[in-house]
Structure 1
Amino acid sequence: MIASIVVAVVLVVVPASAPPGAVEVPETRIKLTVDPTPAPKPALRYLLLPEMRELTQGNPIPHYMKAVLEHESTSQAETMNRAALKQVDRAARMDKPDWQLLPKMKTDGFGLLLPDLQKMRFLATSLQGRFRDEIALRQFDAAVGTAKTLFALARHTGDHPTLIGTLVGIAIASVAIAPFEEMLEQPGCPNFYWALTNLPTPFITMEKAADGERVLVLSDLFRDLDDKNPMTTAQLKKVIAYIDRLRGLSDRELKTVAWLSGHAKDETYMEAARHRLIDSGIPAERLAGFSTYQVILLNERIEFEVQQDEALKLFNLSTWESLALLDAMPNQKGRALFADFLSAYGRVRRAQGRLEQRIALLRHVEALRLYAAAHAGKLPEKLADVGVPLPADPFTGKPVRYELVDGVAHLRGSPPKGEEQTPAYNLHYEITIRK
């Protein structure tokens, strides 16, 4: 039986206790009918990432690209053949991913082209097809091997030094999870509680992407802004035109020169800007030779660096802590010239949290299968009865919401602030034990 994933609309609270005006919330409901299954012996027989004993030395990224290029040169098929995917399996078991992008990040900045990321998506789609074939045939050992390749591919992509690469890595992990859920429904499927428990947390890290973001922005956005010498009108026009282009302004939005003109008339702002630049190390006598617009742009560069670090320093906190602090940051749009370049950070962190939540919920599913195997196919009345450690909901830091209704278990993830009406952030696993 294949996992059925449907989007449904349900009340957040039980109707009997719902307050007047309770709103309906669209959710992603995933119905699974599963076997009660104990943990394998040995417990780590099935893992979801390649083990050290499977690894070889090398950089997998060129090998992934080579597999795609060989496919493109010999076939027009939408997915790769099995021989080509074997090459991808080998690449996924190399130990030192390196995208080798640092020099181009420094020279190209926002103009950096990233065609390789789309190729990684193609590999994931091809592997997903093989994964589903193996599941349909109940070839669980082979399916676990493909799961390892897919999850390793996601991790290697998430190691990309850009936020875009991080998002693609998260998307590839989701590509792997969909057939993994289907596998759980197959009769005889092993239990993966300990395999899920042994995945890295977070599964896709943000450190390299956050560091790369600072390289991209600071090496590109401000590359022609001089803090050593007075800038000519022509130089300033060039900088302003480039900022306008990067900001992608609509006809209704304030152009950079108009923004600068307005702030130039604000004596309080200008005095504070000059003091800030002197405090940053620019001598007062040098600053005296700078035009008003140059002073404003240099001040806004410092403001951007401050605000960027205020956001990026939160990335390695737990999801619920990170998002609470990101949401509490003051909205700088309109007040700071480069505020638009900070707007994506919260969205990326939410996407990372959504993947963590899905993995956490699947770990709960497998814990329920463990419990049912030890209790004649019955499900627990409450999660505290399960008997194995369970992760908190990444978006709340609290236990996952659970209820048992007519013998069917309901696991629900809580959405982050601002996503209460988004189905993808309202995950609901409905678990039935096969009789």
Structure 2
Amino acid sequence: GAMMPHLPELRQLIFLVALKARIQIEQHRFADAVASLQVGTALAHHLGQAPLVIQGQVAMSMEAVLCRQLRHWVQTPGSPSLYGAIAALPPSLVDTDKQFQYEADNLTFLQRLAYKRTKKQILDPAQARVLFMQKRTNRDMAVLQIVEALRHFASTHEGRFPQTFAELAMAIPDDPTTGKPFMYRLEQGTAIIESTPKEAGPKELLQYILQWQ
């Protein structure tokens, strides 16, 4: 179908917002970077509440662009913790339930006749891909919340990371792609967080390696 006219502009806008945030992080203007990231998050959230699945997918890609800046933030020496800011976000910026329902409700009569077959052959696999994309995007945000909890722990324990998550005083989220805790281990003082969802290929595996400096 035709691309909605505002989606390419929103994609361009989020890259500009992300670039601005990246420069502000590099310059240690952390309060300004937070303001830029909040603008980007509001844009993604607003689009994620729109009725069409394609709008939700673009919102997820916008969120992924912002996540890259957050990853840069947590690796920047002297950066303040984003734990509270990430914890305060909604579990997902995109309302996929509403979008799937809207598209099902707006099928024409002829489409409805073919709907059951189409749903099984085309819509269900497409929805499964969108839902996994959503879980993966939510996972990227959740793991950053854990990174911030680990950074806080190390800063108050002479640079030592915990042996297990149970030592953390801060609440941490489960892995949205598995519904279970993220895998975590400590190897010679290096903290390793991993996520290996069942249905995922090698590209969907996630590993964070943290060393205190």
Q: TM-score range by the shorter chain?
A: over 0.9
Residue 361 (structure 1) aligns with: 143
Match status 1:199 vs 2:89: yes
Residue 167 of structure 2: which of 365, 373, 385 is its match?
385
Give the distance between the partners of 2:82 and 2:27, measured in 1 at CA: 19
CA contact (8 A) 1:393 1:414 kept: no
1:85 counterpart residue number: none
State the shift of 1:113 in Å: 4.3
In the alignment, residue 384 of structure 1 is paired with which amino acid? A
Instruction: Measure the CA separation in 2 of the matches of 1:208 and 1:403.
Output: 38
In the alignment, the residues of structure 1 paired with residue 189 and residue 124 of structure 2 have an alpha-carbon distance, to the nearest angstrom, of 47
- Secondary structure of 2:211's aligned partner: strand
* Displacement after TM superposition at 1:159 (Å): 1.7
8 A contact 1:117–1:165 mirrored in 2: yes
* Residue pair 2:184, 2:192 contacting (<8 A) in 1 also: yes
Matched, 1:426 2:205: yes
Q: Is 2:140 aligned against 1:376?
A: no
1:401 alignment partner, one of 171, 180, 183: 183
Matched, 1:115 2:2: no
Q: CA deviation at 1:112?
A: 5.5
Residue 64 of structure 2: SS of its match in structure 1? Answer: helix
Deviation at 1:173, TM superposition (A): 0.5
Note the alpha carbon deviations across 1:144-197, whole angstroms, 9 max, x for none: 000101111111121221111111000000111111111122222111112111
Contact kept, 8 Å, 2:49 with 2:93, in 1: the verdict is no
Q: Secondary structure at the match of 1:409?
A: strand
Once the two structures are aligned, what percentage of the paired residues are identical? 30
Instruction: Quote the offset at 1:341 in angstroms.
Output: 3.6
Partners of 1:348 and 1:422 lie apart in 2 by 18
The SS at the match of 1:433 is coil
Inter-partner Cα distance in structure 2 for 1:214 and 1:169: 20
Q: Whole-Å Cα distance in 1 between the matches of residues 22 and 71 of structure 2?
A: 11
Q: 2: CA distance between counterparts of 1:201 and 1:193? A: 14
Letter in 1 for 2:48: G
Residue 129 of structure 2 is aligned to residue 347 of structure 1: yes
Letter in 1 for 2:32: A
Q: Conserved in 2, the CA contact under 8 Å of 1:202 and 1:356?
A: yes
Q: Which letter maps to 2:132?
A: R
Deviation at 1:408, TM superposition (A): 0.9
* One-letter code aligned to 1:386: L
TM-score when scaled to structure 1?
0.47
CA contact (8 A) 1:134 1:140 kept: yes
Q: State TM-score, norm by structure 2.
A: 0.92
Q: By how many angstroms is 1:396 displaced?
A: 1.8
- How far does the alpha carbon of each residue in 1:368-426 deviate from its partner, in whole angstroms, 9 at most, with x for none? 01111221111111111112211111122211100111111100112241x2x332x11
Task: Specify which of 10, 14, 29 is matched with residue 139 of structure 1.
Answer: 29
CA deviation vs aligned residue, 1:240-286 (integer Å, no higher than 9, x gap): xxx8xxxxxxxxxxxxxxxxxxxxxxxxxxxxxxxxxxxxxxxxxxx
Matches within 5 A, 1:151-300: 151-216=41-106, 218-219=107-108, 222=109, 225=110, 298=113, 300=114
Q: Distance in 1 between matches of 2:84 and 2:198?
A: 27
When you count helix as a share of all residues, which structure comes out higher? 2
Unaligned runs of 5+ in 2: none
Greater RCO structure (CA 8 Å; 6+ sep): 1
- Aligned partner of residue 186 in structure 2, secondary structure: strand
RMSD: 1.9
CA distance in 1, matches of 2:177, 2:97: 20
Mark the CA change 1:121 to 1:187 in structure 2 (over 3 Å): closer, same or farther: same
Residue 137 of structure 2 aligns to which amino acid in structure 1? L
SS of structure 1 residue aligned to 2:210: strand
> How far apart, in 1, do the equivalents of 2:11 and 2:154 lie?
37
2:163, 2:124 → 1: CA distance? 45
Question: Size of the alignment, in residue pairs?
Answer: 213
Counterparts of 1:202 and 1:357, CA distance in 2: 10
Question: Structure 1 CA distance, aligned partners of 2:210 and 2:3?
Answer: 44
Query: Which amino acid in 2 is paired with 1:428?
Result: Q
- Answer whether contact 2:11 2:62 (CA < 8 A) is retained: yes
Are residues 1:414 and 2:190 paired? no
